[in-house]
Chains A and B, each alone.
Chain A
Amino acid sequence: MASDYISRLFGTSPVRPIQEHFAQATACAMELVPFFEAVIAGDWDRAATVRERIIELEHAADELKRHLRLALPSSLMMPVNRSDVLELLSMQDAIANQAKDISGLVTGRRMQIPPSLAEPYLEFLRCSLRAVSQAEKSVGELDELFEAGFRGKEVDVVIAMTEELDRIEYESDEQQVELRSRLFQIERELPPVDVMFLYQIIEWTGELGDIAHRVGSRLHLLISK
């Protein structure tokens, strides 16, 4: 068609795909709660089923990421930096990857969480995941940000959301410190290798919150291009 060059002028908007991708990655990370509940209950069959779901969701997120990258050639003129969008995307993806790695390590080593740490750990995990879902909520405002053209009231709304994200992440850091010191108090009673990996799991769980926090900072950069 000779005349459809006006419609070819418009590239694919990255907004919905970014949001869908993050919804997928967040759903993936959220599965860690039922996963650890199964692990703490010692129900490895249920844990394996949840882990399957985590892997599936991680794959789906990967697929979305691949599609979106292909739809963002450098010849696009966008209201946001292309590199910021790609960076945001890979951070979102890192959250799903992190969830997969955590569940993989726990499953692979049939790790036991010491009963005295079970409840504090779940508490800490939920807090890290709250950071993830707060980040997802902030990215959920991207379509409104694009609509408002990155000016005015909507920017304030998103900034407030990322400030809340800062707060949640700080809280999760505190819990991490607390959890590590509890583990330190009982570490001599446990097999040393298990202790090593327990520290590892705590570390990785904390990183979920860190990455979510970095998603928020990247959103800041995106706004103030």
Chain B
Amino acid sequence: MELALLFILLAAGFGLFMAWGIGANDVANAMAPSVGSRAITIPQAVAIAAVFEFAGAVLAGGEVTSTIRKGIVDAGLFAGMPDLLIVGMLASLLSAAIWLLVASRFGWPVSTTHSIVGAVVGFAAMGMGVEAVHWGKVGQIVMSWVASPLLAGALSLMLFLSIQRLVLGRDDPLGAARRWCPWYIFLAGFFMTLVTLLKGIVHLGLDLGTGTAYALAAVLGLVVAQIGHVAIRRIPYDPQANRDFHFATVEKVFAVPMVVTACAMAFAHGSNDVANAVGPVAAVVAVARSGTVDAVSVVSPWLLLLGGVGIVIGLATYGHKVIATVGQGITQLTPSRGFAAGIAAAATIVLASGTGLPISTTHTLVGAVLGVGIARGIAAINMRVVSTIFISWFVTVPAGAGLAAVFFFVGRALLR
């Protein structure tokens, strides 16, 4: 295939640009609870995001990348014309990128995931015919878009109720916070590690047994909890701050698990959203290198690395400013709330990543925040904003699809 190198370079360029955009814009939402609750400073958030987005992308981003690469489109239909698949994937990347730029300009709450999934479905259905789409898989993905905010909301509701029962509603909330927070940290560390070990790193060619995975997750959870325990013990009681607001020191204690939450959210976001940039690239590279449409091979770790690097560059060049803006706007999400919402969202996202389902980080987080709200945990949630965020995917999916179809027709004409 004479154009192979050109295709690969184009795909890598588009993919890097998408990854840059994710780092620049989307990471801010993932970091919003931690920065907003003042548990960590903005430079700390940027550092945590850089490390854990990258780790999430490389260690646990494989399954979702696979789904975008070959789960949505029926590759068998392209067997005789591999270059059409390449053109389609390039068109998808381009249309998603352009749609995201337009949406950013107008301030619409648009999800990268919805754009790219819409685009891939759009080029296949409109360019090749509806039978080119794995509608079963697409149905699953769409169901997960409904299920993920619900699951995150249910988890955060339960977490917050447990925090109320075990800590906030007690006679001595500060003592209770010091006692229970390390266990919350353990839970977070254990769960995130477990899902990653069981589902994520298969792509790196590592396959630990289930028993080993549980043991490793427990060890890592205990280590993180022990570090948290030491940090919590060193937080002094501040009678001055507590006179005005009796829970001031309690919230300081919750700032410690909030740091773990920041890491978990960045990791989860990296694991799910890297696919939006790298999935189509992976499809292009696989076809261009072999010249055939091969549905068997796994995603090369190098591509996940490329995506991870792109996200970190986006974060470093522009994302830190967005994190600052988003974080300053949130004052109500105190550490006890931010923890419940953040961990619930992170757990849901990592679970989806392990299952290979591309979901929206933002929607999941909004669902988690609403969960705490239902438990009477948040002073005021703007329901009008909630509805615009959820309505946005009814617009984004068709828009991404339409644009991708147009680019696909243009690209196909150019090839001939």
The interface of chain A, by Cβ under 8 A from chain B, is 1-15, 72-73, 75-80, 143-144, 146-154, 225
Contacts and interface: CB of A to CB of B under 8 A. Distances in A.
Given A3-B326, A144-B246, A144-B247, A149 B380 contact: no
A76 B245 contact: no
Contacts of B171: 153
What does DSSP make chain B's interface, helix, strand, loop or mixed? helix
Contacts of B377: 79, 149
A151 B385 contact: no
B381 A76 contact: yes
A13 B379 contact: yes
Interface of B: 25-26, 28-29, 32, 36, 103-105, 107-110, 160, 164-165, 168-171, 173, 245-247, 251, 322, 325-334, 336, 362, 365-366, 369-370, 373, 375-386, 388-389
Contacts of A79: 373, 376-379
B25 A144 contact: no
B103 A2 contact: yes
B66 to A, nearest CB: 28
Most buried by A among B171, B328, B384: B384
A148 B375 CA distance: 11
Contacts of B379: 11, 13-15, 78-79, 146
Contact of B383 (A1, A77, A147): A77
A152 B26 CA distance: 38
A8 B385 contact: yes
B380 A14 contact: yes
A20 to B, nearest CB: 13
Contact of A144 (B107, B109, B245, B376): B245
Contacts of B328: 7
Nearest to B27: A3
Most buried by B among A9, A75, A143, A154: A9
A13 B170 contact: no
Top 4 nearest A-B pairs (CB, nearest first) are A152-B169, A7-B329, A11-B380, A79-B376
Nearest to B172: A153
Given A6-B326, A10-B378, A77-B373, A148 B247 contact: yes
